[in-house]
Amino acid sequence: MTDSLAARPPAPADADGSAARRWLRRWHPGPSPRVSLVALAHAGGSATAWHPLSQALAPDVETLSVQYPGRLDRIGERSVADIPALADHVVAALADVTGPLALIGHSMGSTVAFEAARRLEAAGRPPVALIVSARTAPSAGPFRHLERDDEALIEELRLLGGSEVLLENRELLRLALPPLRSDFAALAAYRYEPGPPLACPVTALVGDRDPRVGPGEMRDWADHTDAGFALHVLPGGHFYLQDQLDAVVRLVRESLAAHLD
């Protein structure tokens, strides 16, 4: 696995070197952060999902929130319905980021973060930590909840506890459903390629009322690291992060403690 990733060509860089500007959002840049935390959102989500965490972690941890194409300020771009390709783009956007890197992902973002971590290790830039949230381990098998028509997608959002403001606004839904459908297609097409475990520790987070993934399934992430694993179950559903910010901040800091002293 490592050899095949090392041989894989990187995602094409922009001619003007703007890959980082297109893919990464620095909400709270610090003068000398000790760790850069690359944050990847859920299916249908955007970089803004990480704004509260970024604010809480600054300034010693600078959060680099990934902005997927096809939403918000990138709404005019075609979504990338391919997990490995997303990971390639993220790694390319990090080319000029110096210092220790860690990754955090929620739901779909956990899978993208895992693949990005593999690529960073293959490129000789191993991350110091991987934090995954509300997503089964890559080896668990294909995503089984791909919904094709709008009403089915909306019902999936309701099941997961999506924003009521979004669910009750048809104009917002019209903009949100295409990237969500693309992200679900990316998850359905993703196939884990077996390879060496990561050399960085993995921390797994999950809500105790998540309808799609439970603590038992999150424990399978332990098979993907040789450097230590921790599982934390927090009160809440799939989007427990919204109500458990203080706990998440504490756990992120614990996972990065060796680099924050």
CATH 3.40.50.1820 fits 2-259, yes or no: yes
Q: Mapped to the 3 state alphabet, what secondary structure does the chain carry?
A: CHHHHHHCCCCCCCCCCCHHHHHEEECCCCCCCCEEEEEECCCCCCHHHHHHHHHHHCCCEEEEEECCCCCHHHCCCCCCCCHHHHHHHHHHHCCCCCCCEEEEEECHHHHHHHHHHHHHHHCCCCCCEEEEECCCCHHHCCCCCCCCCHHHHHHHHHHHCCCHHHHCCHHHHHHHHHHHHHHHHHHHHCCCCCCCCECCCEEEEEECCCCCCCHHHHHHHHHHECCCEEEEEECCCCCHHHCCHHHHHHHHHHHCHHHCC
pLDDT computed for residue 223 by the predictor: 97
- The residues spanned by each domain of the chain are 2-259
Amino acid present at 216:
G
Q: How many residues does the chain have?
A: 261
- pLDDT for residue 160: 85
**Along the 261 residues of the chain, how does pLDDT read in single tens digits?**
433 443 343 443 443 447 899 999 999 998 899 999 999 999 999 999 999 999 999 999 999 999 999 999 999 999 999 999 999 999 999 999 999 999 999 999 999 999 999 999 999 999 999 999 999 999 998 776 655 688 888 888 888 887 777 777 888 888 889 999 999 999 999 999 999 999 999 999 999 999 999 999 999 999 999 999 999 999 999 999 999 999 999 999 999 999 998
Q: Write down the pTM of the prediction.
A: 0.91
Distance from C-alpha of 212 to C-alpha of 203, rounded to nearest angstrom: 19
Catalytic residue list:
107, 238
